[in-house]
Amino acid sequence: MPERKSQHWADRIVDQILAQPHPEDHVYHIVTGITPSGRIHIGNLREVLTADVIYRILQERGKKAKLFYVADDYDPLRKVYPFLDPQKYQKFVGHPLSDIPCPCDQHPSYAEHFLEPFLASMSQLKIDLTVLRASELYKGGRYNQVIIQALEARDTIAEILFRLTGKEIDEFWSPFVPICESCGSMAETKVIGWDRERELVGYLCQQCQNQGWVPVQGHGKLTWRVDWPARWSFLNVDIEPMGKDHGSKGGSYDTGQEIVRRVFHKEPPFPIVYEWIRLEGMGDMSSSKGNVVAIEDVLKVVPADVLRYLIIKALPKQRINFDPVNQLLNVFDEVDNEQAKYRDPRSLELSLASGFVPIKVPFNHLISIVQIAGGDPARVSAILKRGGYQIPESSAKELEERCRYALNWLEHFAPAEYRFSVAESIPQSVQSLTPSQRRVLGKLSDLLSTMLSQKEEKDISAEEIHRSFYEAAQQEKDLSIKEVFQAFYTALIDKEHGPRAGWFVKTIGVEFVQKRLAEASAIEA
Ligand SMILES: [Zn+2]
Ligand SMILES: [Zn+2]
């Protein structure tokens, strides 16, 4: 009998990686890299999570592995992004991100401003990263050797780039981009000489007209298409996830493969190409467009396991439409009600991060209850118990945390129709209801009153309350059921829509609602 293999994409990738010959004690280097030029968003998270699952599986299989994150903080600021103050940042365009002041003045640099929350999220997501900063690699001399190799092989690289991308390479093109000593920018510097003996680069800055000779260390960087294969060579990269732009034909992986073999004499890493994450209704997430959802914001509304699961369960080549309203709540429920255990147990296993404890309350439901209970976990717990949910004492902490998630979700992501609060007294807007709408509220109140006279409040079910809305509507022939509900929500929460009516009445108290509706029906227009 053949061994039954996991069908999970990450297991299949690891099968392929391990099929390649490596010494038994080989330490697999998995590398990810993200430029901290803006908020690092959940589109970027896909890169790191893809690397992380491969890392976890290699360890499961008894292999040694190391997971690196290279912060590309030596990249230049490309432009003044919409989220930046142009007054402050215009002059820093072209400067390395590690050398620019941070937007809030609380961090050592622009790059660190965006790195700090990202790295905090990584630890919440239990991603065990070894962090390297490109600025430190360059300034510390780790790149010296490869820069020299690249300068020596300038013509070979230019030929590869032209052949594979079809783009004209002008005669001044250089794999090295110097940073101008005078103005600090690398936006318009040109290499005009290479002194092989003294290992100095001659440059001209077309921005400030400064000209000079500088050593390679800490005075510039390789262009992206050369930087990447150079990094593969000295970090001994075995595996690297990459966005589909890099992985396409003529993309930087394509050119990098040939450059790393011919110039740096190493093999390229095993590529894992992934699709973008789009923000529902807003296109691909991109820091420069500003349509991003930051990782730390999602971790305020769902546990780390849920966010991991949402991304890990999709094939890397599958586009993810991130929708913080429907999709996020559904995935939260899938993990919480343990359907995930049956639907995709392997993804769930690879998503474990925070010691998730299910409480089996639909998140949507909790969002309503939290609002009724004014955010008080004790009241939430009481309401849930009345509604038939069994929350053991030992889960009190989880419930408290869920309440916090629900409140954060309402604050960060909720569309207006999800938010409500029960009005303390009859809202003014009741006066604008039609006479028949006010009459129907009286009828509803009578029906509830009848129920209360027949049994105890706790024995009245949400379903029978819900039915009474239809009964009342039948008695008031010129009203549609929609107008009945509209009148009801106006009297209770001063809105035209709200949570499911029968259940809502049961939650806030049948007697309370009965009295409120009687009062509302008696109001003079
Ligand atoms: Zn800052
Ligand atoms: Zn300059």
For 322-356, how does the pLDDT look when each residue is reduced to its tens digit (9 = 90+)?
999 889 999 999 999 999 999 999 999 999 998 89
458 lies in a domain? yes
Quick one: tokens of 448?
Answer: 């509830």
Q: Is residue 453 part of a domain?
A: yes
Q: Which of 216, 245, 277 is the last residue of a domain?
A: 277
Instruction: Pick the ligand that lies closest to the CA of residue 101.
Output: 1
Condensed to tens digits (0 to 9), the pLDDT of residues 205-257 reads 999 999 999 999 999 999 999 999 999 999 999 999 999 888 888 999 999 99
Domain encompassing residue 386:
363-418
Looking at the structure, do residues 433 and 390 belong to the same domain, yes or no? no
For ligand 2, the distance from its centroid to the CA atom of residue 35, given in whole angstroms, is 23
In 3-state terms, what secondary structure has residue 460?
A: coil
* Residues 451 and 414 placed together within one structural domain of the fold: no
Looking at the DSSP bridge assignments, the partners of residue 177 are 221
Contact 459, 519 (CB under 8 A): no
What's the confidence (pLDDT) of residue 388?
82
CA of 127 to the centre of ligand 1 (A): 23
Do 375 and 482 lie in one domain? The reply is no
| C-alpha 110 to ligand 1 mean position (Å) | 7
Same domain, 134 and 218: yes
Residues 104, 229: one domain?
yes
What pLDDT shows up at residue 525? 65
Residues 368 and 392 occupy one common structural domain: yes
Domain-located, residue 172: yes
Residue 200's pLDDT is 96
Q: For position 507, which CATH number holds?
A: 1.10.10.350
CA 297 / ligand 1 centre spacing (Å): 17
* Distance between Cα 163 and ligand 2 center (Å): 32
Q: How many domains does the chain fold into?
A: 3
Do residue 192 and residue 151 come from a single domain? yes
Q: Are 71 and 199 in the same domain?
A: yes
What is the pLDDT at residue 248? 87
Domain boundary among 237, 262, 277: 277
Q: 325 lies in a domain?
A: no
Match 């007697």 to its residue by tokens.
511
Is 314 among the domain residues? Answer: no
User: Ligand 2 centre and the CA of 202: distance in Å?
Assistant: 13
Low-confidence ranges of the chain (pLDDT < 50): 1-2
Residue 182, number of CB atoms within 10 A of its CB: 12
- CATH number of the domain where residue 175 is located: 3.40.50.620
CA distance 116 to 524: 59
Q: What is the per-residue pLDDT for 11? A: 97
In the DSSP assignment, the letter for residue 176 is: E
Q: Closest Cα partner for 483 from 441, 426, 525?
A: 441
Which residues, 6 or more positions from 271, have their beta carbon under 8 angstroms from its beta carbon? 240, 241, 242, 247, 253
Instruction: Please state, in angstroms and as integers, the Cα–Cα distance from residue 496 to each residue in 99, 106, 222, 512, following that order.
Output: 53, 45, 60, 20
Same domain, residue pair 261 and 401: no
Domain boundary among 277, 309, 339: 277
- Shared domain check, 494 and 378: no
* Contact in structure between 280 and 327 (CB atoms under 8 Å): yes
> What's the 179 CA to ligand 2 centre distance in angstroms?
8
Ligand nearest to the CA of 179: 2
Q: Which pLDDT does position 4 carry in this prediction?
A: 53
pLDDT at 117: 96
What distance in angstroms lies between residue 132's CA and the mean position of ligand 1's atoms?
Answer: 20
Q: Report how far ligand 1's centroid is from the alpha carbon of 295 (Å).
A: 17
Q: Which residues contact 466 (CB under 8 A, 6 or more apart)?
A: 500, 501, 502, 503
Q: Are residues 462 and 401 part of one domain?
A: no
| Distance separating alpha carbons of residues 356 and 347, to the nearest angstrom | 14
Q: What are phi and psi of 204, to 5 degrees?
A: -130, 130
87 within domain boundaries: yes
Q: Which ligand does the CA of 205 lie closest to? A: 2
So what's the pLDDT on residue 5?
63
Q: Are residues 404 and 440 in the same domain?
A: no
Q: What tokens does 90 get?
A: 């215009």
User: 56 C-alpha to center of ligand 2: Å?
Assistant: 46
Against a cut of 0.85, is the pTM above it?
yes
Q: Is residue 245 part of a domain?
A: yes
* C-alpha of 184 from chain center: 33
In this structure, which amino acid lies at residue 433? L
Measure the CA–CA gap between 21 and 3, rounded to whole angstroms: 21
Helices (H) and strands (E) in the chain, counts: 23, 13
Question: DSSP 3-state assignment of 220?
Answer: strand
Please indicate, yes or no, if residue 345 is contained in any of the structural domains.
Answer: no
Q: Say if strands 220-222 and 277-279 run parallel, antiparallel, or are unpaired.
A: unpaired
